[in-house]
Amino acid sequence: MTDERRKIMRVLSGETLIPPPLWLMRQAGRYLPEYRETRAKAGSFLDLCYSPDHAVEVTLQPIRRYGFDAAILFSDILVIPDALKRNVRFTEGHGPEMDPIDEAGILALKPEGILAHLAPVMETVRRLRRELPVETTLLGFCGAPWTVATYMIAGHGTPDQAPARLFAYRHPKAFEHLLMLLADISADYLVAQIDAGADAVQIFDSWAGVLGEKEFAAYAVKPVAKMIASVKARRPQARVIAFAKGAGYLLKTYRQKTGADAIGLDWSVPLAFARELQKDGPIQGNLDPMRVVAGGKALEEGIDDILRHLGSGPLIFNLGHGITPQADPANVSTLVERVRGWRN
Amino acid sequence: MTDERRKIMRVLSGETLIPPPLWLMRQAGRYLPEYRETRAKAGSFLDLCYSPDHAVEVTLQPIRRYGFDAAILFSDILVIPDALKRNVRFTEGHGPEMDPIDEAGILALKPEGILAHLAPVMETVRRLRRELPVETTLLGFCGAPWTVATYMIAGHGTPDQAPARLFAYRHPKAFEHLLMLLADISADYLVAQIDAGADAVQIFDSWAGVLGEKEFAAYAVKPVAKMIASVKARRPQARVIAFAKGAGYLLKTYRQKTGADAIGLDWSVPLAFARELQKDGPIQGNLDPMRVVAGGKALEEGIDDILRHLGSGPLIFNLGHGITPQADPANVSTLVERVRGWRN
């Protein structure tokens, strides 16, 4: 059983803690000077992800500085297509790119040697669990099949992932095959992270918001439900946070349909709706990352609103999306102090 | 009173028509060879918007080809910042750009000579009303203040309009000033379009989806409510469609709070939720434009779902966002025939 001192694990099991525990998406990132320093030494971005020395270091940096209640493995959702030999590369100022895949390419995908390719990630997780304070929850993660597939189809990010939406309409069978293959690989990957020492895992469906209702059910809910069932069948103690960014109204049944223990909320989710979702279990979110950049009153009011509406139920305080490079580290200190100082 | 033969006007007054009337956002556009031909002759994109000869021609092209129930004035939401001398330019492959504005720039904005600058647009509307079939509703439009402001602040489009969100947190007073100034100018602009012959107008809030709940109330709802109140006080017969793309759950009260006659729905809006919204009045939407590109079964099923769920109430059939350049004009014919052939 997980150590009782890991507050985020307690919330993930349904407990309400006052004040709520907190961490920030992309808390190990470019807003921190110590991150930029390690990043400069690491070679390419993927080199950083695959170097246990560097990945452990950047994962620990925000824990040292702020004492967040969770550390999240430093990695990227696109290590899965990289393991599938899609020639993933991160070029400064370009966003991620890879070789776009077509129908024949999907059918030819060989999901072999994935975990061997990702062994350095598991080594990072193992070392992290050893080096982290005992009270810090260690989170693993991966991308949701839909989001990972959108990049694989287009070969890069797009404003509304139209290439993947179109591909799915044109080639529903091949697309379904791709999603299920990604679901299987990703479930194995999450189990491996858990075995290496992750207490809980988060599934990022960053592009869930561009889907119509039926497609959301088929492409966002179904593969994530498959993954979670597979992980939980093998590792019943594991906790799963599912974050379907932009899913809006469709979040209503997302927890129940996917089997996630907690659901992540982006900053567009109204707090009254979030309160409803919280009646079914723990939620995580949902401060606009721009409030952290702005600081001052905008930051304080945003934090207070969330705590007032959601602080009396099972809540993991977080942002509604990753912290951005232009955030001032001093504003993050303000955030941490304000959340930790809250009493309802 | 508007001609009884204008079906879209009847639906905008709350009538249910079977089959529903239809038009498509961006129906005058690059997917049509005749549009590309006129576009090539017109000089810059703004030259096309400001040339009544060319703008009338491209507005009429999809009416000739498909007999849509509405023609929408060919123009762009960024003619307002252009009239405000923000140096707006459209460079092929770059998206729109303009000089980014700061706090001092906002306070120095002089909303003078706007309608004189936009006189060619009103000339286009006048000619269109003369040339269109009597049964065709003529729609004018403008951008919502929030969406127009996001471009003015950043100087270009961005993935989630973070620059404007940040600016609004940092400089709430200047931002409010900008929104209210845009609301006033835009209301005058819509009244001028109505006086020139537009039957109804649509307000496009393409970036409503990136706002938190409070910001949605302050930046999306409030200025649009102000515009609609201003337009309706002066031209009580005018009908207004408000399209807040990505607003999701917040659409629940959007019609009531803005005073819009009809609300536009993007393709992510679940049909059961759309049905609820339709109980309060007419709705417009919401086929995924990628279904038109895909054609075949994906197109037919998407159309049928919408008609089955929403066809028995006041509906204007439309896409959930603009039609894209890669759509095959033959698929648009299929769409028109299928909607027109529907009986519930």
A35 part of the active site: no
pLDDT-derived band at A2, boundaries 50, 70, 90: low
Q: Within its chain, how far is the Cα of B293 from the centroid?
A: 21
pLDDT given for residue B2 in this prediction: 66
What is residue A132's DSSP assignment? S
A304 close to B (CB below 8 A): no
Would B312 be classed as within a structural domain?
Answer: yes
Would B96 be classed as within a structural domain?
Answer: yes
CB neighbours of A76 closer than 8 A, spacing ≥ 6?
A: A45, A46, A49, A90, A96
Whether residue A287 contacts residue A262, with contact meaning beta carbons closer than 8 Å, is answered with no
Say whether B169 and A268 touch across the interface (CB within 8 A): no
Residue of A159, A210, A213 with shortest CB distance to B270 = A213
CATH of the domain at A124: 3.20.20.210
B189 part of the active site: no
Whether residue B263 contacts residue B298, with contact meaning beta carbons closer than 8 Å, is answered with no
The secondary structure of chain A in percent helix, strand, coil, rounded to multiples of 5, reads 55, 10, 35
Residues B53-87: pLDDT tens digits? 999 999 999 999 999 999 999 999 999 999 999 99
Query: Among the options A69, A76, A199, A266, which is catalytic?
Result: A76
Q: What CA–CA distances, in Å, run from B219 to B58, B145, B226?
A: 33, 8, 11
Helix-then-strand count for chain A, H and E: 18, 9
B228 close to A (CB below 8 A): no
Q: Within its chain, how far is the Cα of A80 from the centroid?
A: 14
Query: How many structural domains are present in chain A?
Result: 1
Looking at chain B, which residue has its C-alpha nearest residue A216? B268
pLDDT given for residue A68 in this prediction: 98
Say whether B162 and A290 touch across the interface (CB within 8 A): yes
pLDDT given for residue B4 in this prediction: 87
Residues A101-136: pLDDT tens digits? 999 999 999 999 999 999 999 999 999 999 999 999
B26 part of the active site: yes
Rounded to an integer, what distance in angstroms lies between the CA atom of residue A187 and that of residue A231? 6
Would B1 be classed as within a structural domain?
Answer: no
Average pLDDT in chain B: 97
Instruction: Tell me the residue range of the domain where A224 lies.
Output: 7-340
B10 part of the active site: no
Residue A137 has pLDDT above 90, yes or no: yes
Of chain A, the percentage scoring pLDDT greater than 70 comes to 99
Rounded to an integer, what distance in angstroms lies between the CA atom of residue A210 and that of residue B266? 10
Looking at chain B, which residue has its C-alpha nearest residue A208? B268
Q: Tell me, yes or no, if the pTM score tops 0.90.
A: yes
Residues of chain A positioned with their CB less than 8 A from the CB of B302: 212
B43 close to A (CB below 8 A): no
Size of interface A-B (CB pairs under 8 A): 89
Q: Which of A175, A273, A275, A288 to mutate to test the interface with B (most CBs of B within 10 A)?
A: A288
Structure tokens at B335: 């769409």
Would B2 be classed as within a structural domain?
Answer: no
Would A1 be classed as within a structural domain?
Answer: no
ipTM confidence = 0.94
Q: Within its chain, how far is the Cα of A213 from the centroid?
A: 22
Query: Among the options A66, A151, A219, A254, which is catalytic?
Result: A151
Residues of chain A positioned with their CB less than 8 A from the CB of B321: 160
B76 part of the active site: yes
Compute the residue count for chain B: 344
The residues of chain B scoring below 70 in pLDDT are 1-2
